[in-house]
Amino acid sequence: MKINWKVRLQHKQFWVSLIALLLVLANQIAGIFYFDITIYNDQITAISETILSILGLLGIIIDPTTKGTSDSEQAMNYDKPKDDAK
């Protein structure tokens, strides 16, 4: 699996999604050990975790090797995933 980490680490959406997912993970781990890190109340915590999860999903869907949220022109012309095997 080839991933251009240098480019991904420079992309704002990558960091937003990573931080969002880490916050959700931290709350889940705290729950396992019975630590209550509820933000305000259970409903607001549930809503905020849902929003953070959606941000994480968007970060997975976004191609961090292009500027903005669009796919590259090359990727738009694919009918199936590019086979990188040589």
Structure-model confidence comparison of residues 1 and 2, the more confident one? 2
Please give the pLDDT value at position 2.
62
To which residue do tokens 């191609």 refer? 63
For the whole prediction, is pTM greater than 0.75? no
- Residue length, the chain? 86
Q: Is the pLDDT of residue 52 over 60?
A: yes
Do 44 and 36 form a contact (C-beta atoms < 8 A)? no
pLDDT value of residue 11: 76
